[in-house]
Each structure stands twice: as structure tokens, then as C-alpha cells.
Amino acid sequence: MKIAYLGLGIMGRPMAANLVKAGHDVTVWNRTPKSLDGARTADTPAEAAKGAEVVWLCVADTRAVETVLFGQQGVSGVLRPGMTVIDSSTIAPSATRAFAERVRAKGAEFVDAPVTGSKIGAENAQLLFIVGGPEKKVAELNPLFMALGKKVIRVGETGAGESAKIGMNLMIAEIFQSFAEGLALTGKLGVPPEILLELIQNSMIKSGVTDYKGSFVLNNDWSPNFPLRLMLKDIHLMQDAARELNVELPALKEVEKVYQKAVDAGHANDDYAVTVETVRNL
Ligand code: NAP
């Protein structure tokens, strides 16, 4: 297929690379000019998207998606019937529904397809796609998702993918917070962290979160797989949705304070696992 891939960050680059590997005809665009082996490079989102069957986005946040789609040199100007926009960024469900309406007004289709699996999942084509959009269109896109992932779950109509994704990240943030607090307390009690991790992985506490992050934490390796600034962005998405719907999230308020402290200490671009240090230093 002829695909435009917009956003070559930690997630976007390996996703686009796997589309090239699967034999698709890929044109890439990134705000800060970047190229990708085997793909053409465009100077603007519109140039990349012109004539593409699929326009796939993975950019930082709601505002970035809006700019890429509807900004001056955005995709919107070249949208045609038959084109599909897939958004794999994690953004607000309400904004997603509004963007989808604007895309459909041009005769094109829109599917929200945020992912989980982080950098390693993207590199190894092991992502889980959490999808919102028309059932028939999502089914049609299945082979494309499966070139980059291990599973596709359609949650419901437009925006449902983003709704589920922010709920899942809420749980990741809170599971990781409990890991950080467990490490802080047992560390002071004299339990070696590698033993704690071994205990966790052999008990009912075992989780994908500790599987992924355990070795990074043991090595104090805070290089970004999922940058802290993006998890804080997601915490704010969760809190906005909760406010709109009158849902209380008491533990998340405390987690947010920890992330804000970590940002204030200069860790915005480090992995969110650095909050192990933040909690230890409280
Ligand atoms: P990243 O490495 O920070 O990349 C962000 C991308 O967005 C870059 O290409 C950046 O361009 C672009 N961007 C930022 N602001 C923009 C703007 N105003 N206009 C146009 N482009 C803009 O982030 P990432 O880890 O790839 O994450 C991308 C999305 O996937 C985020 O929504 C994130 O929450 C989500 N996600 C991440 C992970 C993970 O583990 N990393 C997992 C699941 C979902 P520049 O290069 O010019 O800055």
C-alpha cells in the first residue's frame, strides 16, 4: 500500500521501518527533518499524504495531531475519499472524535489505534493495537496492524481506542508507582533490589510492567523508552477525562505529584522509570 508515516519518534520510527520491511511504499515526514532507510522523505505532512491510501500518525500529543492534520501544511488539504487516517498517538478521546468528524467531512476515514508495548514492542513488531472506529474499516486494516504488532483489539467506535488506552496507562503508572514505593521501603529494610525483583517475578505480583522495567531499574538506566513527559501528559489526559465524567482518581493525584517533582528535577526526557529515584528521595 502507499502509506504516509508522520512522526519518527521513539515509537514512530520503528513502526515506519516495519512498514517498509513489510514491502509497503512509505513516505515519511517528521517535524525536525529526519529520514528513514527505504522510505521517501517529504517536507510537509501534506506532501507526504498526497496520493497515499493510508496516512499514519504517531506524534506526541493532542496539539501535535491537530497541527499535523489541520495546520497550514497539514494533511487535511489533500484528504480524498478512499483515504484512511490512522492515529497511533495517545491523545484525548474527545479531541479524537472531533478530528475524525473533520476528516470524514472530506470523505476520508479515521481510525484511532493507540498502542502498547513501548519501544521494544515497536522494534520487534509486537505491539498491541487498541482500536476505535468502524468495524468494517478496522477489519480491513488488520493486515497492516499485524505487520507492526501481535494483536489488534477493537474496543468500539471512534475514540474508544484512546479511552481504553488512557485507562491502561493509568494502571501502568500506578503499578509502577507501587513498584517504586516497594523498592524504596525494602531498600531501607536492607532487601537487595535484584532479590525483590526475583520475588516479584515468581509471585502473584508479577506483571508486564516489572518484566519490561525491572532490568532498567536494576541498572539505573533511565534512557527513554517511554519518556516521563509523555506519561505525565497521559496522567493529565486521565484527569481531564475524569473531571468531565465526575470520576474520582485519588491515587493518581499522588502519582501526578511524583511525576511533577521528577520534571522539576530535570527528568522530563528520561524514562518514567526514573520515578524510582524520585520516590526514594522524597
Ligand atoms: P517521542 O519520541 O517524543 O516522539 C514524538 C514525535 O512527535 C516526534 O516525531 C516529534 O517531532 C513529534 N511532535 C511533537 N510535537 C509536535 C508538533 N507540535 N507537531 C508535529 N510533530 C510533533 O514520543 P514517542 O515515544 O514516539 O510517542 C509518540 C506517541 O505515542 C505519544 O502520544 C506517546 O504517548 C505514545 N506512546 C508512546 C509509547 C512509548 O513507550 N514511547 C508507548 C505507547 C504510546 P520532533 O522530532 O520534531 O520533536
Take atom 30 of ligand 1 and give the residue whose Cα is closest: 89
C-alpha grid cell, residue 166: 488512557
pLDDT at residue 175, rounded to an integer: 98
Mean pLDDT for all residues in the chain: 98
pLDDT at position 233 is 98
pLDDT average, residue stretch 242-254? 98
Catalytic site positions: 165
Separation of alpha carbons 206 and 199, rounded Å: 9
In this prediction, residues 110-125 reach a mean pLDDT of 98
Ligand 1: nearest atom to the Cα of 233: 34
Per-residue confidence band for 16, with pLDDT thresholds at 50, 70 and 90? very high
The confidence score (pLDDT) of residue 46 equals: 98
Mean pLDDT, to the nearest integer, of 179-199? 98
pLDDT in tens, 128-148: 999 999 999 999 999 999 999
Q: Which residues line ligand 1 (CB under 6 A)?
A: 7-12, 30-32, 58-61, 63-64, 67-68, 89-90, 115-116, 118-119, 225-227, 230
Q: What is the pLDDT of residue 235?
A: 98
Confidence of residue 153 (pLDDT cuts 50, 70, 90): very high
Q: What's the pLDDT score for residue 115? A: 98
Supply the DSSP string of 147-178, one letter for each residue: TTEEEEEEEESTTHHHHHHHHHHHHHHHHHHH
Percent of the chain with pLDDT over 70: 100
pLDDT at 113 (0 to 100): 99
Nearest-atom number in ligand 1 for the CA of 61 is: 32
Which residues have a Cβ under 8 Å from the Cβ of 247 and sit 6 or more positions away?
A: 241
Going 65 to 60 to 235 to 151, the CA torsion angle's sign is positive
Q: How confident is the model at residue 12 (pLDDT cuts 50, 70, 90)?
A: very high
How confident is residue 25, by pLDDT bands cut at 50, 70 and 90? very high
Residue type, 27: T
Distance CA 160, CA 238 (A): 14
For the stretch 64-117, pLDDT in tens is 999 999 999 999 999 999 999 999 999 999 999 999 999 999 999 999 999 999
pLDDT at res. 198: 97
Distance in angstroms (rounded) separating the CA atoms of residues 234 and 241: 11
How far apart, in whole angstroms, are the C-alpha atoms of residue 131 and residue 93? Answer: 12
Q: 133 C-alpha to center of ligand 1: Å?
A: 22
Contact present, 109 and 84 (Cβ < 8 Å): yes
Q: Please, what are the domains in the chain?
A: 2-157 (3.40.50.720), 163-281 (1.10.1040.10)
Mean pLDDT confidence for 208-220: 97
Rounded distance between C-alpha atoms, residue 3 and residue 226, angstroms = 25
Q: What is the mean pLDDT of residues 254-282?
A: 98
User: Which pLDDT score, from 0 to 100, does residue 229 have?
Assistant: 98
Q: How close is the Cα of 59 to the center of ligand 1, in Å?
A: 4
